Structure 1
Amino acid sequence: MLSLDHLAVSGTTLELAATHLEASLGVPSLPGGRHEAFGTHNRLLGLAGGLYLEAISIDPDAAAPGRPRWFGLDMFDGPARLTNWICRVPDLDAALARWPEAGDVVNLARGDLRWRMAVPTDGRLPFDGMFPALLEWQVPVPPGDSLAGSGCTLERLVVSHPEADALVTRLDMNDPRIAFERGTAGLLAEFQTPGGIRTLA
């Protein structure tokens, strides 16, 4: 039911998030846009297999959203880093019946894109943010299939958390690229890139 859709790199500014992403993989990102519902903006990088990377931050020129921002961005500090993994589902309502802790449904739009996403009321995903954000695309061609390719392929995503076993049991996810390890909460991704194997953390 869960399919990996994209990964998010957060930063205190979009420039810092995008620079960290680009320096880690050795390829440039592309312009994204603004998310009015949450007062954020992003840049994107297409990956093989219908996946993509997103650099995201609070948009200093946007109006306050009137609710906590997604991905815990209101509480984000420190260096730019890989913070979230996002999974798509065919039916978000059915997914939330199984994983209600993922949040409440928010209808979103950016340009021609339309999607529904589960966002916790406080903006913080369970398991210290290591629980995947869930979304349902409402367009025939999602960004992972429409973005220009970067020559990069995700080889492995490591999801670390002190309660990794409980997270694995809760998700019951079968994707050979995704590994769960006990440890400090965090994400690490390995990519095949035009410059060889690169790591993003």
Structure 2
Amino acid sequence: MPVLDHLAVVAPTLAEGIAHVRDSLNLDIPEGGRHREMGTRNHLLRLGDALFLEVIAVDPDATPPGRPRWFGLDDAAGVRADWDSGRRLRAFVARTDDLDGVLARHPGLFGTPMRMSRGTLAWRFALRDDGALPMGGLLPCLMDWGPAGSPARAMPDLGLRLTRFRVEHAEPAQAADLYRAIGLSDAPESVGGPALRFTAEIATPSGTRTLS
């Protein structure tokens, strides 16, 4: 059963992503690292025992990968358009220890599992051939951390906790049905809205704040 693993702010530049989190949550998000296979870089913020927030962007100093990057990051115009429209919390990721099984049951949705790494960490991540988000981001990206499990426990605990995760969609019942169909645990709450948009309410030392 896939379980909510992390939320992703997909940013035109890492500096813009960091600034957005700072403005939204009133703190700086710690550095994560670089993804050699994807030519990207991230910062990470713990939101629970096995849950975190990621800011991810293209790493301008990295060698470009020989394939499309994940999270749709090669579509720079699309990333910028989403950013400027306020769709900055753009994606989410679910983990499962049966990645191959889930992919086999839902062919064509999530892509092909690939080996990824950041520093000493290594995991498998399902990636579409075009690098796009599954169903435009409505569905989660899928991954398997392997025996080591989520790295959230090793991240600094700054006292933040996710209290609500919501997705706006023109057909919220369809979104909820999709989450049930893939067996997603801790799925976002589906509500009506004119466009796909994620919102997270996060308890912080300075009170509950909203990230979108």
- Normalising by structure 2, report the TM-score: 0.88
Aligned with 1:102: secondary structure?
Answer: coil
CA contact (8 A) 2:91 2:137 kept: yes
- Give the C-alpha shift of residue 65 in structure 1: 0.9
Indicate the residue corresponding to 1:99 in structure 2.
Answer: 106
User: Does the CA contact (< 8 Å) of 1:27 and 1:150 recur in 2?
Assistant: no
Structure-2 separation of matches of 1:167 and 1:44: 27
1:127, 1:161 within 8 Å by CA — same for their partners in 2? no
Name the amino acid aligned to 1:59.
Answer: D
Secondary structure in structure 2 of the residue aligned to 1:54: strand
Residue 109 in 1 paired to residue 109 in 2?
Answer: no
Describe the SS at the equivalent of 2:124: strand
> After the TM superposition, which of the residue ranges 156-165 and 185-194 deviates more from structure 2?
156-165
Cα offset for 1:24? 0.8
Check conservation: 1:5, 1:144, Cα contact below 8 A.
Answer: no
The one of 79, 83, 93 equivalent to 2:90 is 83
Q: CA RMSD in A?
A: 1.6
Match of residue 194 from structure 1: 205
**SS of residue paired to 2:53:** strand
2:93 aligned partner, one-letter code: I
Shift of 1:142: 2.4
Contact 1:114 1:139 survives alignment (8 Å)? no
Deviation at 1:166, TM superposition (A): 2.3
Q: Give 1:39-188 correspondences, 5 Å limit.
A: 39-75=39-75, 76-78=79-81, 79=83, 81-100=88-107, 101-172=109-180, 173-175=184-186, 178-183=188-193, 184-188=195-199
Change (3 A) 1:164 1:119: farther
Change (3 A) 1:41 1:139: farther
When structure 1 is superposed on structure 2, of 93-102 and 139-148 the one drifting more is 139-148
Specify whether residues 69 and 51 from structure 1 end up closer, same or farther in structure 2 by C-alpha distance, changes over 3 A only: same
Report the secondary structure of 2:16's partner residue. Answer: helix
Alpha carbons of structure 1 residues 182 and 126: separation in structure 2 relative to 1, 3 Å: farther
Structure 2 gap segments, 5+ residues each: none
Question: Shift of residue 174 of structure 1?
Answer: 4.2
Q: Which moved more, 1:103-112 or 1:164-173?
A: 164-173
**CA distance, structure 2, for counterparts of residue 163 and residue 106 of structure 1:** 32
User: What's the TM-score, normalizing by structure 1?
Assistant: 0.93
| TM superposition shift of 1:171 | 2.1
How far apart are the structure 2 equivalents of 1:126 and 1:53?
19
Identity among equivalent positions (%) equals 41
Deviates more, 1:6-15 or 1:97-106: 97-106
Which ranges of 4 or more aligned residues in structure 1 deviate by more than 6 Å?
none
Q: Output one character per residue of 1:97-156: Cα deviation in whole Å (capped at 9) or x when no partner.
A: 123301111111111111001111111123321210000002424221211112111011
- Whichever residue aligns with residue 96 of structure 2, its letter is V
Q: Structure 2: how far apart are the matches of 1:44 and 1:22? A: 12
- Helix, strand or coil at the partner of 1:74: coil
